[in-house]
Structure 1
Amino acid sequence: MEYNTNRTKLLMPEYGRNIQQLVEYCKTLPTKEERNEMALSIVEFMGQRNTHLRDEENYKHKLWDHLFILADYDLDVDTPYPIVTLEELASKPRKMDYPSFDNDYKFYGKSILQLIELAIKLEDGDEKDALIQVIANNMKKSYNVYNKEHVTDDVIFRHLKELSQNRLDLTGLDSLDKSKIYYASNRNKSNGNNSHNRNINQNNNNKRKNNFQNHKNKRR
């Protein structure tokens, strides 16, 4: 009886012993033409055994990379893709840059800073005013959640002015004016409800007309 401990190590266990043996046999073929033909068959077989790879981008390229890993990078065949080298495979991925904040208001988050930049680029008008109101209201919510205490509007205005480098200034307001936001929201709901009601009334009128016409036809 042959034990797995006496066999060659499975370099990618998810492909199983059979594919590992096919790759080992491919390495022993005498001509490159034979190895190319068998390597292509092995890659197709690997794709059939791992159908989930087809949902990934460039899955064919990954299969060829896996073939060379199974061969321990000791396989002389022509490949349709550049193969990742053993050194590249062993190298650590580049450390991702973490967003940094140059101020003391980290609790507002990066999305607030992005919205502030967007508001600065907008021309003066209702759209810009509404966006500034949204930013200020969300800053107030974030402040209350993070600091677990109530914050006054003038503090939010001061922070907004500082974060925007004095380009967005609400310090002249007494309090956050939510009327524009609520008005726009309610207006959209009202328009939707009015449209829905018009459709219902139109359907009811059509039903009345059809019923009246049927009644006249029966009398005739």
Structure 2
Amino acid sequence: MEYNTERTQLHMPEYGRLIQQLVERCKTLPTKEERNEMSEAIVDFMGQRNPQLRDEEDYRHKLWDHLFILADYDLDVDSPYPIPAREERQKPPEKLEYPKLQGEFKFYGKSILQLIEMAIAQEDGEEKEALIEVIANNMKKSYNIYNKEHVTDDVIFRHLKELSGDRLDLTGIDSLEKSKIYHSSTRNKNQKNGQQNGHNPKSRHKNQPNKNRRK
């Protein structure tokens, strides 16, 4: 009985033992013509066993790369694609860059950075001020949700200044009314609560007596 520990190592286990054995058989063929013919058949068989690869771009190239990996890069055949090198697979992956929003500002999210860049690119005017108002509103909401505490407008303006690299500085500008920042929703909520409690200002006039009504 043959144990797996005595068999050739599976270089790509997802292809299974059968394809690995076919590749090993191909390596032992005496002529290059025979090896070319068998390697073509193996690649076709690999594509049939893994039909999901056909949805990927240039999947035939990937199959040929996998063939050489299965052969441990020791297969003398004519490949229609550049033969991969062992060093390419052994090369460690590139280090991923961390998001720019870290520490104090991580709860704002990437969308805030994108909006800030859009505001910076716009010319000064009402549209730019409206966009900055949207940014400040969303920053304040995100801050309150994440920290579960009230934050003053001055803190939001300071964070906006830092995130924009000092290019959006509202700390000393009066053209943007601070009362607009994240207070409109609060007023609407208070009005709604007042209507539910029976304090509808429109209905108040209906209940007032008419002084000119005849007695």
Alignment TM-score, normalising by the size of structure 1: 0.70
Amino acid at match of 2:59: Y
1:13 is aligned to 13
Amino acid at match of 1:85: A
Q: 2:68·2:75 contact (CA, 8 Å) conserved in 1?
A: yes
Amino acid at match of 2:170: D
Please provide the CA RMSD for this pair.
2.8
Give me the whole-angstrom Cα distance separating, in 2, the residues matched to 1:90 and 1:131: 48
Amino acid at match of 1:151: V
Give me the whole-angstrom Cα distance separating, in 2, the residues matched to 1:70 and 1:147: 53
Amino acid at match of 1:57: E
1:77 is aligned to 77
Amino acid at match of 2:61: H
Give the drift of 1:75.
0.3
1:174 is aligned to 178
2:114 is aligned to 114
Give me the whole-angstrom Cα distance separating, in 2, the residues matched to 1:180 and 1:117: 25
* Alignment gaps of 5+ in structure 1: 182-220
Give me the whole-angstrom Cα distance separating, in 2, the residues matched to 1:146 and 1:140: 10
Q: 1:153·1:176 contact (CA, 8 Å) conserved in 2?
A: no
Change (3 A) 1:125 1:19: same
Amino acid at match of 2:129: D
2:188 is aligned to none
**Deviation larger for 80-89 or 60-69:** 80-89
Give me the whole-angstrom Cα distance separating, in 1, the residues matched to 2:20 and 2:183: 69
Give the drift of 1:71.
0.9
Amino acid at match of 2:83: I
1:138 matches 2:138: yes
2:213 is aligned to none
* Alignment gaps of 5+ in structure 2: 186-215
Give me the whole-angstrom Cα distance separating, in 2, the residues matched to 1:41 and 1:125: 67
* 1:106-133 Cα shifts (integer Å, max 9, x gaps): 4433432231121011123443233212
Change (3 A) 1:179 1:4: closer
Superposed counterparts of 1:42-81, under 5 Å:
42-81=42-81
Give me the whole-angstrom Cα distance separating, in 1, the residues matched to 2:169 and 2:184: 18
Change (3 A) 1:89 1:103: closer
Task: Please list every run of at least 4 consecutive aligned residues from structure 1 whose deviation after the TM superposition is greater than 6 angstroms.
Answer: 178-181
Change (3 A) 1:157 1:75: same
* 1:181-209 Cα shifts (integer Å, max 9, x gaps): 9xxxxxxxxxxxxxxxxxxxxxxxxxxxx
Give the drift of 1:66.
1.2
**Deviation larger for 35-44 or 166-175:** 166-175
Q: Which is helix-richer, 1 or 2?
A: 1
| SS of residue paired to 1:175 | helix
1:193 is aligned to none
Give me the whole-angstrom Cα distance separating, in 2, the residues matched to 1:114 and 1:44: 46
Q: How many aligned residue pairs are there? A: 181
Superposed counterparts of 1:200-211, under 5 Å:
none
Give the drift of 1:44.
0.7
Q: 2:19·2:42 contact (CA, 8 Å) conserved in 1?
A: yes
